[in-house]
Amino acid sequence: MTLLSFRELQRQLKPEWGRTTQAQGPDVDVLMVPSLSMDQRQIDLVTGAHHYEERQLFALMRLRDPGVRMVYTTSKPLGELVVDAVLELLPGLPTSHARRRLHLLDTDDASSRPLTAKLLERPALLARIAELLRPGRSFINCFVVSDLERQLSERLQVPLLGTDPALGYWGSKAGSRELFARCGVPHPPGSAHTHSLDDLTEATADLWEAHPQLGKCVVKLNEGFGGEGNASLALAPLQLAELGAAGRRQRLRQALEQLPMPSPSWREQLGQQGALVEAWLEGGEELSSPSVQGTIHPGHPGLVEMLSSHEQVLGGASGQTYQGCTFPAAAPYRQALMRHGQAVGEALAAEGALERYAVDFIARRFGDRWDLQAIEVNLRQGGTTHPYLALSAISGGCLDPASGLYHSPSGQQLHYRATDNLTAPELRGLLPVDLVDIVTEAGLHFDPAKLRGSVFHLLGCLSEYGKLGMTCIGRSAAEAAAVYAATEAELLRAAQVLGR
């Protein structure tokens, strides 16, 4: 039998297979591979990273269609309660019916290596997976598509709904800036791609000399994610204006050598993947970090569909690490976000990209005017993907692309606040069943009649790390925030009581 290449396999994808907000057709099998196939040094910075395979469980919403079957793979077995907690959210569908169409398979390997690498090492397991997938009626869905996922697609001879890793440049920091320039999307002043400390020093000096009023810049590893590959550099204390060109570069190099990058091996990564420097956007009476999400359906070129917009919550030592989000983005610039996202999506589709993408921005208010500047493109699912899938799964509503607002089937607006990083020492030792009991007894679980309440993910992190993810839904931004605050407070209170 002649084996098809990755690109030949992708030509078998059908446009309707990527649409999660409507029926997938009478016969579709989905292989979920929630592998974090990224730079291992950056993955190691994420607490409980091996449990992040659970975040894509909200993709079980596809099982709302009785014709969909799913194979969900993980490194270690998933707890029954973890899976049922998602299936029970599906409206109008018996959990037992969805369960019959769901196959859970694991590699029984808790190492920190990517799940896809583990799958490729297990031919017997791949054979079992192949037996569950019908030729011509199956596709693979991943968190991110790397060369490992390409190999998996070719090994199984099953098409993968995602961007060919050969196009990964467009999801890098340098590729993002090129896309923004091509699409006319505003973005901060910055440098070209550099691969050495000398070149990065020169690029930083050039940036300051072109913008001597600049008080701070940000250095970005070209393939960093979640802000873990970013570090800010304060320029004002360096007193660069007092120095000549040579002295300026010497002082900048010294500062870059001491750069507090979250990734401790960033100098090594600079030589491997490169980095660039951008102006740090300051000023204005308000500052926020919105993002917009879309998907590209298979076709020639693919059809771009805008999915959502969010306000990102950033934190960590650098202030650049993703902590959570609120949905939707603020009204004054939400429609502009959607327009920019559409333009970037169409450019990506022309290059052959597929499935999820997101564009991150910085928004600054000057009086009654908001200034939007695009920061980067992500060619993968991200931290805003799973809370939006959770909302879609439990509400059955849809997004109004004109306003960017989400409405339930009854027409009620829905909002949420979500996090992957609700972390506290008091939560360590709690089991998922304890969490369910606490939330249910407090009346904080999602109530479909009231369209408010909390749903949870990363339950595997809870006992070991005292870490939890949750999406808190309400009929307004204020109600979603109140649900979040009440849920956090009740969990901490109950955990303290149980710990005595």
User: Alpha carbon 305 to chain centroid distance?
Assistant: 17
Q: If pLDDT is split at 50, 70 and 90, which confidence band does 317 have?
A: low
Q: If pLDDT is split at 50, 70 and 90, which confidence band does 223 have?
A: confident
pLDDT at 497: 82
**Token pair for residue 351?**
């290059």
DSSP secondary structure code for residue 421 in this structure: E
The proportion of the chain whose per-residue pLDDT surpasses 70, expressed as a percent, equals 94
Over range 72-95, report the average pLDDT.
87
Least confident of 41-55, 181-195, 223-237, 437-451: 41-55
Using the predicted structure, report yes or no on whether residue 499 has a pLDDT greater than 70.
no
358 has which bridge partners?
Answer: 293, 378
pLDDT at 318: 59
Q: Is the peptide bond before 159 cis (omega within 30 degrees of 0)?
A: no
Over range 345-359, report the average pLDDT.
96
Q: If pLDDT is split at 50, 70 and 90, which confidence band does 23 have?
A: very low
Q: DSSP assignment of 185-227, as one string?
A: -----B---B-SHHHHHHHHHHHHHH-TT--EEEEEETT--TT
pLDDT at 391: 93
User: Alpha carbon 257 to chain centroid distance?
Assistant: 30
Over range 231-254, report the average pLDDT.
94
Over range 148-162, report the average pLDDT.
97
| pLDDT tens, position by position, 25-49 | 558 999 999 998 876 766 666 766 7
Calpha distance 308→324 (Å, rounded)? 15
Mean pLDDT of the chain: 91
| pLDDT tens, position by position, 360-384 | 999 999 999 999 999 999 998 888 9
pLDDT at 26: 58
Over range 241-255, report the average pLDDT.
94
pLDDT at 82: 86
Calpha distance 162→150 (Å, rounded)? 10
pTM above 0.85, yes or no: yes
Calpha distance 470→247 (Å, rounded)? 50
Using the predicted structure, report yes or no on whether residue 500 has a pLDDT greater than 50.
no
* CB-based contact 414:407 (threshold 8 Å): yes
Q: If pLDDT is split at 50, 70 and 90, which confidence band does 439 have?
A: very high
pLDDT at 91: 76
pLDDT at 33: 97
The 3-state DSSP composition of the chain as helix, strand, coil percent (nearest 5) reads 40, 25, 35
The proportion of the chain whose per-residue pLDDT surpasses 90, expressed as a percent, equals 68
Half-sphere exposure of 314 (CA within 13 A, CB side): 21
Least confident of 18-27, 66-75, 211-220: 18-27
pLDDT at 311: 96
> Which residues of 227-386 form beta strands (DSSP E)?
230-234, 275-279, 286-288, 290-297, 303-315, 321-327, 355-366, 369-378
pLDDT at 267: 87
pLDDT at 350: 95
Residues in the chain: 500
Using the predicted structure, report yes or no on whether residue 202 has a pLDDT greater than 60.
yes
Over range 459-479, report the average pLDDT.
93
Buried b (16+ CB within 10 A) or exposed e, 82-113: bbebbbebbeeeeeeebeebbbebbbebeeeb
pLDDT at 24: 47
pLDDT at 226: 61
Q: If pLDDT is split at 50, 70 and 90, which confidence band does 50 have?
A: confident
